[in-house]
């Protein structure tokens, strides 16, 4: 393997890692309590900035190094308690994070963005750095060491400060300027040129020796630098007082001060935080398939072993039981690799809601529910854009301005609820707002303006569907947030491309709920195995309400319209599965078989099956990958014996029964 | 995916030959993933009769088609001696039942004769040429056209508007 390939690989890793770090940084910044920042959180933000800086420096991405460096210095002061965190800092960091993200993607596509983009943020962050002394003056909180220092009669600043004498080797003017600029951020710096051409810097700072060495190491070889240190005496800040050498950078390895130890401990804990490895998705998929094969092989061995004499082969059978258990465990853990909690998507919304609401002069709070709901990685990535659009719509069109809300007897702050649940083989995502709701009149008006035929008798649902028409908007002005009428059209198309559906419920004055229903592709599902004839089908367990063995009095025929079953004061349509799927049945009398009552979207139906086989976790496999979508079938899975079993799509089965189908209509539907 | 045009570009092209109802057919060997014995399929309702069902191919769900059904040819019983050729067509895996696999032949450009024109009545555009080797005649098939992929793989738009 040539070295250029290796560098390329590292480059990719750097981009992925940096993106994750930036996302993590944003999450932490949004969560941080400004009045009492958690030390560990500050450390984590600092580490993120530091890691990005290190990576960027390695690849020579100077613009990113510059920005992260300033962030890092500020964060360092904050985490050490030299500076108090303020909203200004958080906002500055968030802006810097956005710029870093742009710079990062610019470098990734080999189209570096201009330095002027970062200029504002750099100025902002430098301003923040310069406020440091003021901040300290205003600080009322003193930590233990400061109190101790105060008791001794010294001022805390002076007690913490050190004076470093840094002897530099021959350096270029640019390097020297860069170094002095960096060190200048850390404290009071003076510079003198020695007669032999070397330069000596005097730095009075609260930083430790390690930090100073670290800064210098960015530009120079640490071995060439000679640093001597002395504490600044409160009364005497004269340069001559710094002459006392305590430790030099060259032999610092031998120094085991308690500070060094604590720093090392911190570094270790930092390393423990990154408990993730990056794996190609194809590899994960391959692993899942291979484990599936293993499970099948294991099931085959089990089948054979069942025929062995239990007394003569006791040990073997015991081991096989252990093997079976281990294989199941292995399968479960491997399956979970591809699944990602919705939290990953939800986590990007708090900031968006906060910023957008502020921009529009509205007050909004975001509640997320069901963040632990797991969804396949592929779907997670594709759902982000539609969701973003819906949330944006909710804030822009849905929520009213605070005074309007108060006038309507609503809480001043609008609520947006994002939720995710598994519902019988689907993942249902909802974006709910308690805003103004959709205006039926203006939508109808706009629709007829657009040339869509409307009538007053149309149901609300039909009217709401107009929103999804291309180019449809009721917004009077086009803003940079919305109003171009492109959005909902695209949302609907994207979701349809994933095989999902979008629904809108809205009550004027009370809010709007947009429901996205996505089918599972590679989701894991608790399934109930049922047998009809020689075929085994799977019903999502979530959809199953109950199973019962009917008695003849329970079944009624509605002449020519099919059968119903009377279960606990309810008449539920009864479908004969063998009839629907044209299977040679083993039994046709409902009282000999089992009736499974299923429910989805608030509707119920009953299915007649021959028998129940069992219940197990299954991996939903997409039929469309190599084949196509089949009516009434949600997907397929592979059973323990290696055979393929089809998963029934309960909502679409319900659609058939809602038309109260007879034998004839079922066949018509099947052949259509 | 191999371009069909390369079949006749120059030099030699390798074809896998198989028989269906006594006729010998040839397909681009690069489209063949593997050859395996027939195993029980899971039947799928609401599909054309020539789609027998789906099987589990090491974790992938693969549909099995029988061209003999599609072309109304004589069908032998399905047992473990029935051969299935697993093909990669348009990025999808599809299994095809055949009577038997003969061998792999290497055809030089001059051994490939142009496809016959049978007029408008019979649509045989799937025959891209005829291989003549040792007195045998091999019908060279364009799989994409033969299986009429839209039959199998396209999502039925009528059912899902």
**A445 and A385 share one domain:** yes
**pLDDT of res. A596:** 92
Q: A237, A255, A273 — which closes off a domain? A: A273
**Given a cut of 90, is residue A649 above it in pLDDT?**
no
**pLDDT of res. A383:** 86
**pLDDT of res. A537:** 92
Q: Per the CB < 8 Å rule, is B55 touching A632? A: no
Q: Per the CB < 8 Å rule, is B42 touching A627? A: no
Q: How many residues does chain A have?
A: 672
**A319 and A346 share one domain:** no
Residue range(s) defining the domain that contains residue A464:
341-519
> Among residues A91, A80, A106, which one has the least CA distance to residue A160?
A80
Q: Is the interface score ipTM higher than 0.95? A: no
Mean pLDDT of A83-103: 82
Residue window 20-49, chain B: list those with CB within 8 Å of chain A. 40-47
Q: How far is CA A198 from CA A40, A195, A204, A553, A634, in A?
A: 41, 7, 20, 105, 76
Beta bridge partners of A527: A540, A616
**Given a cut of 60, is residue A255 above it in pLDDT?**
no
> Among residues A273, A257, A210, A206, which one has the least CA distance to residue A40?
A273
Asked if A27 contacts A347 with a C-beta cutoff of 8 angstroms, the reply is: yes
Q: Which comes out higher in pLDDT, residue A535 or A500?
A: A535
**A242 and A370 share one domain:** no
Q: Tell me which chain B residues have a C-beta less than 8 angstroms from the C-beta of A299.
A: none
pLDDT category, B155, cuts 50, 70, 90? very low
Mean pLDDT of A414-420: 90
According to DSSP, residue A395 is labeled I
Architecture of the domain whose range is B4-150: Beta Barrel (2.40)
Q: Which structure tokens are listed for A631?
A: 């009516």
Range in A251-260, A448-457, B140-149 the model is least confident about: A251-260
Smallest CA–CA distance from B55 into chain A, residue? A644
**pLDDT of res. A148:** 43
pLDDT digits (tens, 9 = 90+) for A570-582: 888 888 888 888 8
**What's the gap in Å between the CA of A657 and the closest CA on chain B?**
17
Q: Per the CB < 8 Å rule, is B59 touching A290? A: yes
Range in A125-134, A255-264, A365-374, A384-393 the model is least confident about: A255-264
Q: How many domains does chain A have?
A: 5
- Kindly state the percentage of chain A with pLDDT values over 90: 3
**Rounded distance, CA A329 to CA A335, Å?**
10
**A465 and A496 share one domain:** yes
Q: How many residues does chain B have?
A: 161
**Rounded distance, CA A441 to CA A459, Å?**
12
Q: Per the CB < 8 Å rule, is A636 touching B62? A: no
pLDDT digits (tens, 9 = 90+) for A24-39: 888 888 877 777 777 7
Mean pLDDT of A118-133: 74
**A49 and A29 share one domain:** yes
**Given a cut of 90, is residue A227 above it in pLDDT?**
no
Note the pTM of the prediction, 2 decimals.
0.46
Smallest CA–CA distance from B59 into chain A, residue? A289
**Given a cut of 90, is residue A352 above it in pLDDT?**
no
Q: Per the CB < 8 Å rule, is B45 touching A628? A: no
**A495 and A376 share one domain:** yes
Q: Per the CB < 8 Å rule, is A672 touching B159? A: yes
**pLDDT of res. A54:** 79
Q: Per the CB < 8 Å rule, is A289 touching B60? A: yes
Rounded to the nearest integer, the mean pLDDT of chain B is 78
**pLDDT of res. B17:** 92
pLDDT category, A133, cuts 50, 70, 90? very low
**pLDDT of res. B84:** 93
The domains of chain B are located at 4-150
Instruction: Estimate the crossing angle of helix A3-31 against helix A349-360, to 10 degrees.
Output: 60
**pLDDT of res. A410:** 85
CB nearest to B59's CB, from A292, A622, A627? A292
Q: Taking CB atoms and an 8 Å cut-off, how many pairs form between chains A and B? A: 83
Partner A contacted by B140 (CB < 8 A): no
**pLDDT of res. B85:** 93
CB nearest to B56's CB, from A290, A627, A643? A643
Range in A124-133, A319-328, A625-634 the model is least confident about: A124-133
Q: A217, A249, A273 — which closes off a domain? A: A273
**pLDDT of res. A194:** 62
**Rounded distance, CA A6 to CA A155, Å?**
53
Q: A254, A273, A292 — which closes off a domain? A: A273
Q: Per the CB < 8 Å rule, is B46 touching A632? A: yes
According to DSSP, residue B77 is labeled P
Smallest CA–CA distance from B53 into chain A, residue? A644
**What's the gap in Å between the CA of B56 and the closest CA on chain A?**
6
**Rounded distance, CA A375 to CA A610, Å?**
33
Furthest CA-CA distance within chain A? 113
**pLDDT of res. A280:** 82
**A494 and A363 share one domain:** yes
**A608 and A663 share one domain:** yes
Q: Per the CB < 8 Å rule, is A630 touching B58? A: no
Q: Which structure tokens are listed for A505?
A: 């419920």
Smallest CA–CA distance from A637 into chain B, residue? B61
- Return the residue in B36, B45, B89, B148 with the most chain A beta carbons within 10 A, the one to mutate for interface testing: B45
Mean pLDDT of A555-571: 82
**A47 and A83 share one domain:** yes
**Given a cut of 70, is residue A197 above it in pLDDT?**
no
pLDDT category, A643, cuts 50, 70, 90? confident
**What's the gap in Å between the CA of A672 and the closest CA on chain B?**
8
Range in A83-92, A256-265, A522-531, B1-10 the model is least confident about: A256-265
CB nearest to A623's CB, from B56, B59, B61? B61
Asked if A532 contacts A585 with a C-beta cutoff of 8 angstroms, the reply is: yes
Asked if A409 contacts A503 with a C-beta cutoff of 8 angstroms, the reply is: no
């Amino acid at each position: 393997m040539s070295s250029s390939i290796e560098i390329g690989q590292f480059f990719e890793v750097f981009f992925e890692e940096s993106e994750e770090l930036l996302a993590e940084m944003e999450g932490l910044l949004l969560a941080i309590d400004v009045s009492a920042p958690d030390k560990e959180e500050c450390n984590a933000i600092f580490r993120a900035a530091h890691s990005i800086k290190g990576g960027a420096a390695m690849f020579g991405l100077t613009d990113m190094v510059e920005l992260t460096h300033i962030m890092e210095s500020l964060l360092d002061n904050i985490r050490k308690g030299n500076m108090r965190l303020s909203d200004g800092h958080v906002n500055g960091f968030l802006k810097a994070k956005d710029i870093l993200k742009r710079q990062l993607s610019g470098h990734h596509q080999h189209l570096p963005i201009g330095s002027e983009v970062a200029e504002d943020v750099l100025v902002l962050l430098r301003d923040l750095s310069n406020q440091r002394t003021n901040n300290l003056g205003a600080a009322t909180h003193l930590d233990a060491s400061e109190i101790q220092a105060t008791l001794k009669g010294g001022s805390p600043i002076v007690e913490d400060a050190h004076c470093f004498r840094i002897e530099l080797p021959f350096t270029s003017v640019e390097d020297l300027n860069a170094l002095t600029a960096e060190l200048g951020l850390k404290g009071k710096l003076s510079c003198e040129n020695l007669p032999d051409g070397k330069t000596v810097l005097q730095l009075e700072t609260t930083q430790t020796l390690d930090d100073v060495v670290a800064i210098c190491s960015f530009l120079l070889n640490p071995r060439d630098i000679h640093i001597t240190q002395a504490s600044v005496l409160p009364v005497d800040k004269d340069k001559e007082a710094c002459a006392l050498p305590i430790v030099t950078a060259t032999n610092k390895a031998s120094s085991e001060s308690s500070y060094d130890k604590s720093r090392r401990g911190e570094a270790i804990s930092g390393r423990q935080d990154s408990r993730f490895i990056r794996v190609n998705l194809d590899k994960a998929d391959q692993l899942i398939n291979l484990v599936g094969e293993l499970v099948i092989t294991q099931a085959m061995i089990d089948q054979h072993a069942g025929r062995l004499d239990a007394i003569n082969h006791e040990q073997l059978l015991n081991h096989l039981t252990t093997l079976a258990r281990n294989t199941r465990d292995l399968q479960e853990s491997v399956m979970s690799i591809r699944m990602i909690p919705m939290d990953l998507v939800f986590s990007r919304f708090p900031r968006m809601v906060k910023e957008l609401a502020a921009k529009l002069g509205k007050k909004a709070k975001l509640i997320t529910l069901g963040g632990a709901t797991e969804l396949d990685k592929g779907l997670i990535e594709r759902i982000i854009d539609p969701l973003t659009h819906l949330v944006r719509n909710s804030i822009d069109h849905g929520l009213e301005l605070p005074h309007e809300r108060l006038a309507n007897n609503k809480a001043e702050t609008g609520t947006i609820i994002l939720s995710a649940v598994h519902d019988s083989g689907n993942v249902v995502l909802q974006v709910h707002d308690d805003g103004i709701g959709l205006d039926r009149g203006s939508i109808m008006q706009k629709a007829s303006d657009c040339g869509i035929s409307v009538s007053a008798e149309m149901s609300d649902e039909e009217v709401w569907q107009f929103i999804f028409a291309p180019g449809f908007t009721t917004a009077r002005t086009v803003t940079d947030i919305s109003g171009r009428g492109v959005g909902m059209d695209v949302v609907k198309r994207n979701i349809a491309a994933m095989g999902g559906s979008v629904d809108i419920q809205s009550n004027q004055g009370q809010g709007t709920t947009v429901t996205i229903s996505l089918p599972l592709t590679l989701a894991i599902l608790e399934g109930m195995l049922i047998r009809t004839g020689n075929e085994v089908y799977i019903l999502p367990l979530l959809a199953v309400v109950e199973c019962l063995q009917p008695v003849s009095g329970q079944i009624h025929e509605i002449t020519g319209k099919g059968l119903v079953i009377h279960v606990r004061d309810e008449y539920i349509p009864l479908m004969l599965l063998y009839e629907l799927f044209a299977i040679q049945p083993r039994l046709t009398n409902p009282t000999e078989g089992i009736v499974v009552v299923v429910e989805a979207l608030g509707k119920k139906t009953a299915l007649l099956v021959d028998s129940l086989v069992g219940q197990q976790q299954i991996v939903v496999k997409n039929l469309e990958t190599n084949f196509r979508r089949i009516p009434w079938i949600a997907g397929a899975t592979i059973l323990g014996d290696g055979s393929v079993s089809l998963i029934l799509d309960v909502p679409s089965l319900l659609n058939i029964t809602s038309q109260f189908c007879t034998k004839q209509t079922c066949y018509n539907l099947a052949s259509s | 995916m191999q371009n069909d045009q390369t079949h006749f570009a120059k030099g030699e092209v390798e074809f896998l030959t198989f028989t269906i109802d006594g006729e010998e057919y040839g397909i681009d060997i690069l489209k063949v993933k593997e050859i395996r014995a027939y195993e029980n399929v899971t039947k799928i309702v609401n599909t054309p009769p020539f789609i027998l069902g789906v099987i589990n191919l090491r974790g992938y769900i693969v549909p099995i088609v029988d061209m003999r059904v599609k072309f109304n040819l004589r069908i032998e019983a399905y047992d473990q001696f029935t051969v299935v050729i697993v093909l990669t067509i348009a990025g999808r895996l599809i299994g095809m039942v055949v009577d038997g696999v003969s061998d792999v032949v290497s055809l030089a450009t001059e051994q490939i004769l142009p496809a016959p024109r049978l007029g408008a009545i019979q649509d045989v555009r799937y025959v891209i040429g005829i291989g003549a080797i040792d007195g045998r005649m091999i019908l060279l098939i364009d799989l994409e056209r033969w299986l009429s992929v839209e039959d199998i793989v396209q999502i039925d738009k009528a059912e899902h508007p």
